[in-house]
Structure 1
Amino acid sequence: MWELACLRFRHLGVSVTPSRCYRRQASSHIYIWDFLTMKRLLGLLALSSLLAGCASGLIDPNGYDETGTASYYGAKHHGKKTASGEPFNQNALTAAHRRLPFGTQVKVTNLDNNRSVVVRITDRGPHTRGRLIDLSRKAAEQLRMLRSGTARVRVQALNN
C-alpha cells in the first residue's frame, strides 16, 4: 500500500527514494489526497463561477434602448468561432453585445448620419471599455462608420 503512495508521488513528478517513502508513508498519502482533492475543488469552483456569471449577466431584451459607442470587427476574426458557437462572418449583419441574449435582433442607428441597420447578436463583447456594441464589417459599412472605426449609436431591441 505504501508503494502506491510512492508511485503517486512519482506520477506528480516528485523524485522519491524508497527509503523516503517508508519514512513518510502516512503523510505522503494524505498529502497526495489533499493535493488532488484541492485541485478538483478549485476547478469546480472556477467552472461554477464562470457559468453563474454567464447566466446571471443576461438582460431582458424587451424594451432595451441604449445609446453609446459602436465599433466594428472584421477580417482578423472572420471564420473564427463566436461565443454563440457559430463562425463569425464579417459579411453578415451580426454584432457582439455583452449582455443581450444570442439571437436578439437589434436596430442600430448611427446618430451622426441617421443611417440604421438591423443586426443579430451572435457574440460577446466589445472588450474595450466605453463601447456598447461591436458590429460586423458589413453592418459598419451600412452605417458609414468604416473610416472612423467608431460611431455614436442608438441600439434598440426589436420584438422577435
Structure 2
Amino acid sequence: MKTKNQYPLKQLTLGVGIFMLALTGCTSIPAESPQNVVGTSESGKASYYAMKYQFRTTASGETYNHFSSTAAHRTLPFGTKVRVTNIANNKSVVVKINDRGPFIDGRVIDLSRSAFDKIADLDLGVIKVTTEVIR
C-alpha cells in the first residue's frame, strides 16, 4: 500500500509547475509607451476639473491643484507641455500633462480650473480647442 508522502518530489515538481503556470497567466505585454511628438496637434473639446478633485492624486502621482496650469490627456507622456487654444476667441494657455483622461467622446483634454479660466468663461464648461505639443 502506497502512502500519501511516498512521492514528495513528484508532488513538489507538480506544485511548482502549477505555480509557474499561474504566474505566467498574471503577466501582460507592456503597452506601447506614449509618444511626445513636438508639433503634433489635435482638435476637439476641452473641459475642466470639478472642484471635488482639488488635492486628489493624479495618474502621475502629483496632487491636483486647480491653481496650476495642468491637464489630463489620454496618451501624451506626463510632463509634456501643450498649448491649448480656444477656437472661439484665439486665447491660449500652456499646460503640463499630469493626468489621464478625459474619457468622454469628443473631448481631447481636461484642463485645470485656472487654465480653463485663462481661455474661456468657466460658465461655458466645455469649449472647442486645438492642442499643440510644444515640449
- Scaled by the length of structure 1, the TM-score of the pair is 0.69
**Count of paired positions:** 132
Q: Which has the higher contact order (CA 8 A, sep 6+)?
A: 2
Task: Look at both structures and tell me which one has the larger radius of gyration over its CA atoms.
Answer: 1
Structure 1 residue 152: Cα displacement? 0.5
Query: Which amino acid in 1 is paired with 2:67?
Result: N
- CA displacement at 1:36 relative to structure 2: 2.5
The CA deviation string for residues 111-152 of structure 1, in whole angstroms up to 9 with x for no partner, is 122221111111121122221111111111222242232111
| Structure 2 gaps, min length 5 | none
Q: Which one has a larger percent helix, Structure 1 or Structure 2?
A: 1
The two structures have a TM-score, normalised by structure 2, of 0.80
Of the three residues 4, 22, 29, the one matched with 1:39 is 22
Contact 2:102 2:110 in 1 (8 A): yes
Indicate the RMSD between aligned Cα atoms, in angstroms.
2.5
AA in 1 matched with 2:118: Q
Query: 2:121, 2:12 → 1: CA distance?
Result: 63
Structure 1 gap segments, 5+ residues each: 1-20
Given that residues 96 and 124 in structure 1 are in contact (C-alpha distance below 8 angstroms), is that contact kept between their aligned partners in structure 2?
Answer: yes
Which residue does the alignment assign to 1:112?
A: 88
18, 22, 34: which is aligned to 2:4? 22
Deviation at 1:84, TM superposition (A): 1.8
